[in-house]
């Protein structure tokens, strides 16, 4: 497992989110990256607790992806790291391999649910190899997840599917993210329920002051 030099830990109640867009052409300036702006917009609408983001735009190179993941967790002390791009079957798609290489634990349920959501729209969702993992160091841990590259798919994956009246039909993966971050020692994440309703067991809920 790769290591990186640690820096001073950030504020304990501030969620640090790392965003990595993996694209040869976007990183070379051939076209504008869509993944990071889409994720930034979604978090702006969804989160009500304090957060900051750290971004990286890199090519489809396994060494570069591994290095960026390690840096965002070990040096930047991100609690949540999301990647977009590089999860298909093409030869240049190596994001899952890079993610697994720097992982401490696998979290297969996230990838399974991402594919289930996407299969509601396209049969080629079964070609996706998205994974989720935990990376742990001596004093820090982060949840890392591979997301789709298209803005519409990113939103659907995080939020899930709703009917015309806003009723949840299929849960998005972010519903489970805050409790996962709780369990690995991260800050308490709160969301706008109209965008994404978080699930926690009653014993993990914080009572808001009157």
Structural domains of the chain, ranges and CATH numbers in brackets? 15-204 (3.40.980.10)
Question: pLDDT averaged over the chain?
Answer: 91
pLDDT for residue 5: 42
pLDDT for residue 114: 95
Contact partners, residue 151, CB within 8 Å, separation at least 6: 34, 35, 37, 38
What is the per-residue pLDDT across 18-51, written as a single tens digit (0 to 9) for each? 999 998 777 777 778 999 999 999 999 999 999 9
pLDDT for residue 3: 43
Would you say 179 and 164 are in contact if contact means Cβ atoms under 8 Å apart?
no
Contact partners, residue 2, CB within 8 Å, separation at least 6: 66, 67, 70, 101, 102
Mean pLDDT of 141-160: 94
CA distances from 94 to 12, 66, 67 (A): 33, 10, 13
Q: Which of 89, 170, 101, 159 is nearest to 130 (CA)?
A: 89
């Amino acid at each position: 497992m790769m290591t990186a030099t640690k820096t001073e830990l950030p504020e304990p109640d501030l969620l640090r989110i790392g965003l990595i867009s993996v694209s040869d052409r976007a990183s070379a300036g051939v076209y504008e990256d869509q993944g990071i702006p889409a994720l930034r917009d979604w978090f702006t609408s969804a989160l009500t607790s304090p957060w900051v983001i750290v971004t990286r735009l890199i090519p489809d190179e396994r060494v570069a992806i591994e290095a960026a993941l390690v840096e965002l967790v070990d040096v930047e002390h991100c609690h949540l790291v999301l990647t977009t791009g590089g999860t298909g079957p093409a030869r240049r798609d190596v994001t899952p391999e890079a993610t697994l290489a720097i992982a401490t634990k696998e979290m297969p349920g996230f990838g399974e649910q991402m594919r289930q959501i996407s299969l509601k729209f396209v049969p080629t969702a079964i070609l996706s190899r998205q994974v989720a993992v935990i990376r742990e160091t001596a004093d820090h841990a982060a949840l890392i997840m591979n997301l789709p590259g298209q803005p519409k798919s990113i939103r659907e994956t995080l939020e899930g599917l709703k009917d015309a009246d806003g009723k949840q039909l299929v849960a998005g993966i972010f519903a489970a993210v805050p409790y996962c971050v709780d369990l690995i020692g991260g800050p308490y994440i709160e969301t706008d329920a109209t965008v994404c309703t978080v699930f926690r067991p009653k014993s993990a809920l914080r009572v808001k002051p009157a």
